[in-house]
Structure 1
Amino acid sequence: MPTLRQLEYLVTIVDEGSFTRAAELLHITQPGLSHQFQALEREIGSPLLERLPRAVRPTPAGRAMLPHARAALAEARRAATAARRTAGLATGELHLATLYSISYGLLPAALGAWRRRHPGVRVRLFEHRRTEELAAAMNAGQADIAVGPPPPGWEGPVRHLGTEEFLLITHTDDPAAEPGADSARAPRVRLAELAEREWVHFTPDSGLADLLEQACAAAGFRPRVAVRTEQAPAAANYAAAGLGPTLVPANTVPPRFNGAVLRPDPPVSRPLTAYTRTTPDPITAAFLDTLAGQGILTPRHLRRRLGPAESG
C-alpha cells in the first residue's frame, strides 16, 4: 500500500512539473526521489508519470490517483491538527473553502476577528467559482468547513448564516438612478426597465453569471452583454464607469463607492451557510461562531445610503 510520503511525492512532482524542483521542495536528493517514486509505480503496477524532455505529465493512472492522493494528504493534516487540538494546544491550521465573492465580501472581517482571538491557528483558504465546485471539493476532503449557498443534498451538518442581498450598480448619471437624486434613500429599480441595456456580466465559469441570468429571466428578459468579468468588485467598477448595469453582493460594495447603488425589483438574494462533513471539532465550531457573529446582511454604510429594505 502506498505511504503518505509516496503520495506526497506524486502530488509535489505533478504540482512542480519537475523531479528536480520537487526534490528541492521536499528536501530530498533527486536520485532518492526517483528511487522512491519508482517504488510507488511498482506498488501500483503502472506508470504514473510520463517523463517529457522538459516536464512531466500524469498518465491516465496518475490522473486517476492524484485526487485521492490529495485527499489523503489533506485528511492526514487534519488528523494531526485534531490531535493537537485535543491535546489542548492553541496552534494548528484551519482549512476553509468558499466562493470568490464571499472571500472578498464576507470573510475579511471574520478572519480578522478570528486572528485576534486565535493568533496561533493559521487559516488556509481555498477559493472556488461555483457552488457545485465548492461542494465537490468539500466532499473530496479539501477543507474543514465550507462557506457558501446551501449545497443540495448535503448530508453533513449545515449552519444557516443569513441571507445575502444583491444590489444593482450603475453609473451615477444613469437615468435609472435619477429618482433618488433628491432623496437620501434610493428607490427600487425594476429590472424589466433595463431589458434593453447592455449589462456588465460575469464569465460563464462564475456562479454569479447564473445568478444574474436567473434574476433577469425572472424579470422577463435575457441580458445583453457589454463586458464580462470574473469578479464582483471588477463588475461594480465597470458598471460605475458607465459600461452598463450589473448585480453584485451587497457586502462586496466598499464604503465611499462612486457608482449608483440601487435595490433591484424584484429583490435578488441568496441564503448563505457554513457546512462540514462531520460534527465540527472545537476549533471549527469556534470559527463558526466567529463567522456568524460578523453578520452578512447589507453592510452598515450601504444601509444608511439605501434606507431600509422594502417588504414588497
Structure 2
Amino acid sequence: MPTLRQLEYLVAIVDEGSFTRAAELLHLTQPGLSHQFQALEREIGAPLLERLSRGVRPTPAGRAMLPHARAAVAEAERASAAARRAAGLATGELQLATLYSISYGLLPAALGSWRRSHPGVRVRLFEHRRTEELAAAMAAGQADLAVGPPPPGWEGPVRHLGTEEFLVVTSADDPAAAGAPRIRLADLAEREWVHFTPDSGLADLLDQACAAAGFRPRVAVRTEQAPAAVNYAAGGLGPTLVPANTVPPHYGGAVLRPEPRIERPLTGYTRTAPDPVTAAFLDLLADQELLTPPHVRRRLRRAQGAAGG
C-alpha cells in the first residue's frame, strides 16, 4: 500500500512539473526522490508519470490516482492541524537563537516549511557571531532553543541535527577551479583569501583549517558575513571557505570540496526538556536535507562527472 509520503511526492512532482523542482520543494535530492517514486510505481504496478523532455505528464494511471492522493495529503494536513491544536502547537511563539551563518544558510528553508505547517506560531530570531556568545545568551535565558555547534560543557538537553559541510568557493576563472571539484587547502597556501572579521566564528574556522594544512592564510579582504564572502570570492578577490548551505543556487563562481573534508557538527540545545513547539521544530530540522542543499550536491556531482572521476 502506498505511504502518505509517496502520495505527497506524486502531488509535488505533478504540481511542480519536474522531479528537480519537486525535490527542491521537498528538500530531497533528485536521485532520492526518483528512487522513492519508482518504489511507488512498483507498488502500483504501472507507470504514473510520463517523463518528457520539458517536464512530466501523468499517465492514465497517474490521472486516476492523483485526486485520491491530493485528498489523502489534505486530510493528513487537517489531522495534523487538529493534533497541533490539541497539543497547544497552533499558536504561540518560538524563540530561536543561532549563528549568523546558520541563520542565512540553514534557516530560511526550515522556517519556510515551519511557517506552512505552523502558521499560527510566531518566530523570534536572535543572531550571534560566535558559538561561545550563542551558548552564553542561551544560558542567560534569551531563547527557547539554540541551533549551532555543540556547546562545550552544556548541562541541558542537546540534540544532534547533522553535520554541516564547508566548501571552498572562488571565481569561475580561478586556476584552482580547473579539473576535479576537489582541492587541498595546502594548494592555496600562497593565495590571498577572502577572510572574516576577527569577531566572526567563521574566522576561527578558516584559520584552523588552514593551520591544519600547514599555513596561515593571507588576507585580501575581511567581511563579517558568509554571503558577502561568497560574492567577493566570485568577484575574483580570492578563495574563501563557507558552509555549503550559504552557496546560492545560481552562484556564478566555482565550488570546490576540500580534501580532507571540513565539517562542523550541528545541534539544537535547550536549558530544560523541550516544550511541544520547540520539539516540533527540532523534528523538522532533523528531517530535512538542509545542511548540504540539493543544488550544491548536484553541482558537485556534475563537476565530478565532467572531470571523469
- TM-score normalised per structure 1: 0.68
Q: Is the 8 A contact 1:162 1:272 kept in 2?
A: yes
Q: Is the 8 A contact 1:109 1:294 kept in 2?
A: no
Equivalence for 2:256:
262
Percent identity over paired residues: 83
Equivalence for 1:280:
274
Equivalence for 2:105:
105
Q: Does 1:147 align with 2:141?
A: no
Structure 1's consecutive aligned runs of 4 or more residues displaced over 4 angstroms after TM superposition are none
Helix, strand or coil at the partner of 2:179:
helix
Once the 2 structures are TM-superposed, how far is the Cα of residue 291 of structure 1 from its aligned partner?
1.5
Give the Cα–Cα distance (whole angstroms) in 2 for the partners of residues 193 and 204 of structure 1: 24
| RMSD of equivalent CA atoms | 1.8
Q: Is the 8 A contact 2:171 2:235 kept in 1?
A: yes
User: Residues 309 and 171 from structure 1, CA distance in 2 versus in 1: closer, same or farther, beyond 3 angstroms?
Assistant: closer
Equivalence for 1:214:
208
1:56-71 equivalences in 2 (<5 Å):
none
Q: Which runs of 5+ in 1 are unaligned?
A: 1-84, 181-185
Q: Is the 8 A contact 2:95 2:143 kept in 1?
A: yes
Q: Does 1:247 align with 2:211?
A: no
Give deviations 1:4-60, integer Å, cap 9, x for gaps.
Answer: xxxxxxxxxxxxxxxxxxxxxxxxxxxxxxxxxxxxxxxxxxxxxxxxxxxxxxxxx
Once the 2 structures are TM-superposed, how far is the Cα of residue 120 of structure 1 from its aligned partner?
1.0
Helix, strand or coil at the partner of 2:265:
strand
Q: Does 1:230 align with 2:230?
A: no
1:158-173 equivalences in 2 (<5 Å):
158-173=158-173
Once the 2 structures are TM-superposed, how far is the Cα of residue 170 of structure 1 from its aligned partner?
0.8
1:290-301 equivalences in 2 (<5 Å):
290-301=284-295
Give the Cα–Cα distance (whole angstroms) in 1 for the partners of residues 276 and 303 of structure 2: 36
1:11-160 equivalences in 2 (<5 Å):
88=88, 90-160=90-160
Once the 2 structures are TM-superposed, how far is the Cα of residue 87 of structure 1 from its aligned partner?
8.2
Once the 2 structures are TM-superposed, how far is the Cα of residue 89 of structure 1 from its aligned partner?
6.8
Q: Which runs of 5+ in 2 are unaligned?
A: 1-84, 305-309
Alignment-mate amino acid for residue 110 of structure 1: A
Q: How many pairs align? A: 220
- TM-score normalised per structure 2: 0.69
Q: Is the 8 A contact 2:192 2:219 kept in 1?
A: yes
Give deviations 1:278-302, integer Å, cap 9, x for gaps.
Answer: 0001111111111212233321111
Q: Does 1:200 align with 2:198?
A: no
Give the Cα–Cα distance (whole angstroms) in 2 for the partners of residues 281 and 225 of structure 1: 45
| Structure possessing the higher radius of gyration over alpha carbons | 1
Give the Cα–Cα distance (whole angstroms) in 2 for the partners of residues 87 and 302 of structure 1: 37
Give the Cα–Cα distance (whole angstroms) in 2 for the partners of residues 164 and 217 of structure 1: 20
Equivalence for 1:189:
183
Alignment-mate amino acid for residue 179 of structure 2: P
Give the Cα–Cα distance (whole angstroms) in 2 for the partners of residues 229 and 282 of structure 1: 38
Helix, strand or coil at the partner of 1:294:
coil
Once the 2 structures are TM-superposed, how far is the Cα of residue 157 of structure 1 from its aligned partner?
0.5
Give the Cα–Cα distance (whole angstroms) in 2 for the partners of residues 250 and 292 of structure 1: 17
Q: Is the 8 A contact 1:144 1:284 kept in 2?
A: yes
